[in-house]
Amino acid sequence: MTAAVVTGAGHALPATYEQGQVWDGFFAAQYAGVRAAERVFRAAGAQRRHAVVNPVDEDVSRWGTGARMERFIVEALPLGKQAVAGALDTARLAPGDVGLFAVASCTGYATPGLDIRLASDLGMPLGLQRLLIGHMGCYAALPGIAAVSDFVTARSRPAVLLCLELTSLHVQPAVADLEQVVTHALFSDAAAAVVLEPGAGRGRRVAGMVARTDHSTADHMTWDVTDLGFRMGLSPRVPDVLGRHVGGVVQELLDEAGLRSEDVAGWAVHPGGPRILDVVRDTLGLTEEQMGASRRVLTEHGNCSSATVLLVLEELGDVDGPVVAMAFGPGLTLYATLLLPA
């Protein structure tokens, strides 16, 4: 059976701001009565983040959901186009070569969607197949890769996956809640895309996928559609739940391929926050050097939801050997993907 191989990657980022700047210029006033808010905000792990809406300049916290969705399309189109074009360029493919275009997002919706609008703008074929992956959250890139790789294998056609998240559109009216402080301190905007081709002799081959959902902890991470945008619920118990499952998930992934942890050359761990990275490191017995790509992405970009693990894979560059990618999100759900040199 022809393997699906990741041959190209690209990303696009809106304007960058410093973590201290957005605290001093906006959130300090929002959370003036919340004890420990500044300490929690500054300890979120991000030093810089990206936003199509910087709250220092534009407060959308009282905007209705309809207005936020209208803004999503305006801001998302140029970012998505840049990310996909960059991925196609690195894969040395033209838009007309694409057989399937998949788009994952949990931060904005419209019909016609980004998949249709971007396919038209980029000049993808009229017979293009499309897939929209909605509201899965931070782990969506990995089931997205699974679905796209199945198409590539079955149809012997190239495919593109775009993950595009604009979390800055969902700033909420302030409440005296440290969970909300963490959310506003951590999340960021980004678009990231990958190209997969059948049987390519370069790149990373999709070699395995394992998923695990702990239904008993479904209330630990939520993403609710409200009249004032999308509101996140994020329990401090999330890292502990991940710690119970991540070892078994990774072991199953490696056992299926006949590999050991020592064989893995690169670890792309979704940086959901510093505690999550600490728990994964300690549970799997990894070194800080092995966590380096994930730490750097968290520091420089924050948590960009579904786009983040693709940014970490880019950060790993052309590391020689097996790569394990992991992402976590609502459910609570864990996904792990094995990528091998083509």
192-244 tens-digit pLDDT: 999 999 999 999 999 999 999 999 999 999 999 999 999 999 999 999 999 99
Which CATH class for the 4-198 domain? Answer: alpha beta
Q: Residues of 252-265 as b/e, b for ≥16 C-beta within 10 angstroms? A: ebbeeeebeeeebe
Closest CA relative to residue 6, chosen from 206, 211, 188: 206
Q: Which of 255, 310, 260, 299 is nearest to 277 (CA)?
A: 299
Listed in sequence order, the residues at least 6 apart from 216 whose beta carbon sits closer than 8 Å to its beta carbon are none
Largest CA distance in the chain: 60
Enumerate residue ranges in the chain where pLDDT < 50: none
For domain 204-341, give the CATH number: 3.40.47.10
8 A C-beta contact, residue 46 and residue 272: no
- Please tell me the predicted confidence (pLDDT) of residue 318: 83
**Which residues fall within 8 angstroms of residue 303, CB to CB, at 6 or more apart?**
46, 138, 186, 187, 188, 270, 271, 272, 273
Residue 98, both tokens = 């694409």
pLDDT at 242: 94
Of the CA atoms within 13 Å of residue 254, those in its CB half-sphere come to 20
Q: Specify the pLDDT at position 204.
A: 97
On the question of a common fold for 4-198 and 204-341, the answer reads: yes
pTM to 2 decimal places: 0.97
Identity (one letter) of the amino acid at 28? A
Do 326 and 130 touch, CB atoms closer than 8 A?
A: no
Q: What's the pLDDT at 99?
A: 98
Active site residues: 138
Per domain, the residue ranges of the chain are 4-198, 204-341
Beta-bridged to residue 266, according to DSSP, are: 323
* pLDDT given at position 276: 96
Q: What is the pLDDT of residues 108-143, one digit of tens each?
A: 999 999 999 999 999 999 999 999 999 999 999 999
* Per-residue pLDDT at 109: 95
